[in-house]
């Protein structure tokens, strides 16, 4: 009975078919896990995809949850890897949750992960500099 109650509670919290933000317990995953995650994300979010050829990335966006999935393409040095970022406003401030997974070269993945952390910091800084609605600079 307790298991059923927990399952029902999870269904109420997570919309049916919602994409998991953290689908794996560790960053180091298998190529099969990466492929399964890529297939799932691309199936759900193919309407909102951007190929960034210069960066060798395919970025899927879920506008509803403000989540971005950046999958490396085969030509990328960290392939196969993915960085997932979720934007939220907490207490009036921008928060960027980030998780990443790799099945390829760990040092290259670490560089990619750090580059996104740096980008997150720039986004937070830029969001703090914007004047609030109804105020002037």
Q: What is the pLDDT of residues 79-117, one digit of tens each?
A: 999 999 999 999 888 999 999 999 999 999 999 999 999
Q: Which residue in 71, 85, 62 sits closest to 34, CA to CA? A: 71
Give the integer Cα–Cα distance in Å for 54 and 51. 9
Task: Tell whether 61 is covered by a domain.
Answer: yes
Query: Does residue 3 lie within any of the structural domains?
Result: no
> For the chain, how many structural domains are there in total?
1
φ/ψ of residue 134, rounded to 5: 85, 5
Predicted confidence band of residue 11 (pLDDT cuts 50, 70, 90): very low
Rg of the chain (C-alpha set): 17
The answer to whether residue 76 is domain-embedded is: yes
The model's pTM: 0.79
Answer yes or no: is 13 within a domain. Answer: no
Q: Which domain holds residue 53?
A: 21-123
């Amino acid at each position: 009975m307790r298991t059923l109650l927990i399952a029902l509670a999870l269904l109420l919290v997570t919309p049916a078919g919602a994409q998991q933000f953290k689908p794996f317990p560790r960053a180091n995953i298998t190529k099969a896990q990466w492929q399964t995650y890529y297939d799932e994300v691309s199936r759900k979010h193919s309407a909102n995809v951007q190929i960034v050829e210069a960066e060798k990335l395919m970025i899927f966006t879920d506008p509803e949850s403000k989540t971005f999935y950046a999958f490396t393409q085969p030509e990328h040095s960290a392939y196969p890897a993915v960085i997932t970022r979720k934007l939220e406003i907490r207490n009036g401030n921008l928060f960027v949750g980030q998780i990443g997974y790799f099945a390829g070269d760990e040092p290259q993945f670490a560089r990619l992960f750090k580059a996104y952390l740096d980008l997150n910091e720039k986004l937070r800084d830029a969001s703090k500099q914007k004047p609030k609605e109804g105020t002037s600079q």
